[in-house]
Amino acid sequence: MELTTAELMANAHAQGLAVPAFNIPYLPMMEPVIRAVIDEDVFALIETARLEWYKFEAQGPAQVAAAFARHQDPDYVRLHLDHIPVVDEDNCRVDYLPIIRQALDLGYQSVMIDGSRLPLAENIAVTRQVVELAHAAGVPCEAELGAVLGHEAGPLPPYEELFATGRGFTDIEEARLFVRETGCDWLSVAVGNIHGAVTGVLRDQKKVEARLHLDRIRALHQATEVPLVLHGGSGVRRSDLLQAIPLGITKINIGTEIRQAYEQALRRSQSVAAAQDACYRRTRWLLHDYLALGGTRRRLLSGS
């Protein structure tokens, strides 16, 4: 019997393993990313965020679902709806419920609501609403607490200043309350991680090497007892990332690394096939060399 996405994530959480989640801002990236996941014998999520429909060329949840359906293998990959914000990176309110409902109707196997730009009480209320909707459809719901910066227009403040001050870091007691009150299945946390820029010339720049506050990850996991999600996984210091996984980071979102590999190869060659090859090679490198996840899929399937 096929395990659900929730069960696979629970197996990863119990074993101290990570599930990589790859964002697809360009539809031709779908095939090489899934092929790399299969060739490395890893279980992964394929995901799409709202900003990728407007700032890149993923078009929308229906188009991503159709591309996924052409290449999917449920033993290796499942489809996740990433970052549906209530207030987006341009500080505009979003009509989020129709997007969530559409994704559930399309067969997305997990969804994310991002109320992180809201006051705590409103974030809890909105997240609880979406959790109930997702659970009624039989799928898990991810939420976010804290401020994972990087998608906003303009440059970030100096990274060392962000890390030293803990600006936007997820509060431990707020996280305990948030998970208890919302019933969310997975929690995206801010612990030193940052998103890759998505606007202007900044989107082509290499990300700052981010660090992770490992003690805070441990405390957040102890307080919430749910799988924690690391957004902005590209460019995080590898030693920190590998230490964070057994501390509770179960899902690692990766976008910038594979997007820039695809874009740069496409600009150089003017060939989609060459860009797909670059994306495939970068995805395999991330899975095998950076995350050291090659061959772990069977452990998730068996639960041991």
Q: Which helix (H) or strand (E) holds 113?
A: strand 110-114
Q: Given the residues 75, 82, 185, 204, select the one marked as catalytic.
A: 82
Residue with tokens 């990332």: 241
Site of tokens 């803990």: 166
Whether 82 is a known active-site residue: answer yes
The CA distance from 236 to 212, in Å, is 8
List, in order, residues 6 or more apart from 84 with CB less than 8 Å away: 49, 50, 94, 96, 99, 100, 103, 111, 112, 113, 114
How many whole angstroms separate alpha carbon 272 and alpha carbon 248? 38
Instruction: Name 258's Cβ contacts closer than 8 Å, sequence gap at least 6.
Output: 22, 23, 29, 33, 279, 282, 283, 286
CB 144 within 8 A of CB 115: yes
Query: So which residues are the catalytic ones?
Result: 82
